[in-house]
A and B are shown apart, each in its own frame.
Chain A
């Protein structure tokens, strides 16, 4: 018996219920809508690229663009907001407190996504408390009107995925041997140079992991745009869900899902290449005076 037989049941389960369905999506994306409802959800008699052309030619293309922008900007802002947090926990919080802070970071992420997003509807409501406060302080001349727009979706994305960004960075920073940093300082490098040439290169894999993970999760999100975006803050996730659940257009929805996966895979590959180039550049930079 092969040594890894214990891992087979899970593999069988995933193959049957995860991998096979992915092939069905691809197959359905080449199908067409049957003329009669009774014929089932998809006709596979004629396979064509029609759904892909349709997806590219209509508003879908625009929504794809908006999604990439929202997810991309959200990822960058998460990194800017989150890096100092990861750094503070890893470097300035005493060891025995660290796991508590990590725990505090994970708890909101693991509790219902739906509720945390829903809460923002209460906070951002035009007739809500925040809106009242901003108006009475004279910061706003009219009620707060960001609900059901792209701005609210952007905020929701940043809020929901911030822990996904912070944790991998924290894990990388926490593993850094602090004697390296001390050695760098002792050898006369200033804090900035030590940060850029010692800490950053060692934290890079964590940062990279955080960026990729945040982007992938944000780009495929459905809950945030559904709850906070209304009709103006659409993302690919809603669009696909609408095609399938409301318009009953499974072939078109499948084609859009395949395109989403393809795009994310493309982003992953480009990001990987960028990381390799960046590491090479950093290697060159390390010898240069700063």
Chain B
């Protein structure tokens, strides 16, 4: 192979790469933009653009079934997030501060939980809840959603704890603080951004979940995404798009705040940590 010419314009490749990157970002955001625009389509047929109108938003808000599904989703997401934080924070701190032979299998289990097809996990839970006799819809949904989110919170908190190092805890110990004291006064407050990020992500992931909900739900406790899914199957109208956009806003806000907290607290390491 011949050596490249010395005066090769090095910017050529760079421009092509950046253009490609931009095109892919447009591809990623285009559908989201489309759904927002079409939710304002006043026509009877969602696909055929006729005129700008907020008509379907009124229709969507006026729908008692959608509202009750929304309430189920919010309650589920809150309980799930409380469980995820309560269990995940301690697991995350232990993973960063109490390393030992147990850490590797423990993290392996976390990756199995995060990587297993949700469908399989959902079937197992459906069977197990029925066997245990847990028939309360919200309980089933909250537990089902929490399994994934405990793992998410554990990884976020672990990344934060590792990023900060242990010097403050050591200093507290040197100054005579008891271990529980330094845990309550130093470790937990330092974890706050990660805890808040984990809380928001858990809420969002639960709020968006389809598969676990589809299997573990009980009659009368359909979540919001399940309502949207069944409305879609029945035939797409503008109110589904309007509901979808409302749902999108909730999750976008949650994610934006969570990502900002993680980027601020973990110097970018958290995102890497969450991805392995």
Contacts and interface: CB of A to CB of B under 8 A. Distances in A.
Contacts of B164: none
A112 B247 contact: yes
Interface string A140-159: 00000000000000000001
B239 interface: no
B133 to A, nearest CB: 12
Contacts of A112: 208, 225, 244, 247-248, 251
A188 B4 CA distance: 10
Contacts of B236: 121
A217 B147 CA distance: 17
A187 interface: no
Nearest to A219: B117
A213 B247 CA distance: 27
Interface string A109-128: 01111111011111101011
A171 B252 contact: no
Contacts of B87: 9-10, 13
B46 A122 contact: yes
B12 to A, nearest CB: 11
Contacts, number: 246
B32 A171 contact: no
A65 to B, nearest CB: 17
A28 B91 contact: no
A116 B211 CA distance: 15
A163 interface: yes
25 contacts: A4-B94, A4-B98, A7-B102, A10-B87, A14-B150, A22-B124, A28-B127, A84-B21, A85-B21, A107-B256, A111-B204, A111-B208, A111-B251, A111-B252, A112-B248, A114-B225, A114-B229, A118-B240, A119-B34, A121-B232, A159-B28, A167-B275, A171-B272, A192-B1, A254-B127
A28 B256 CA distance: 42
Contacts of B146: 13
B119 A21 contact: no
Nearest to A42: B127
Given A13-B147, A14-B109, A244-B215, A6 B38 contact: no
Nearest to B95: A7
Interface string A1-42: 001111101110110011011101100100000000000010
A104 interface: yes
B259 interface: yes
B117 A21 contact: no
B134 to A, nearest CB: 10
A193 B2 CA distance: 11
B24 A290 contact: no
A9 B90 contact: yes
B117 A108 contact: no
A216 B35 contact: no
B274 to A, nearest CB: 9
B143 A110 contact: no
Interface residues of B, number: 92
A132 to B, nearest CB: 9
Interface in B98-145: 98, 100, 102-103, 106, 109, 113, 115-121, 123-128, 130-131, 143-144
A191 interface: yes
Interface of A: 3-7, 9-11, 13-14, 17-18, 20-22, 24-25, 28, 41, 81-82, 84-85, 87-89, 91-93, 98-99, 101-108, 110-116, 118-123, 125, 127-129, 159, 162-163, 167-168, 171, 188, 190-193, 209, 213, 216-217, 219-223, 226-227, 237, 240-241, 244-245, 250, 253-254, 257, 260-261, 264, 290
B211 A222 contact: yes
A111 B160 CA distance: 23
Contacts of B228: 114-115, 118
Nearest to A168: B275
B154 interface: yes
Contacts of A162: 24, 27-28
B81 interface: no
A122 B263 CA distance: 34
Given A21-B124, A107-B255, A10 B35 contact: no
B234 interface: no
Contact of B214 (A4, A101, A104, A245): A245
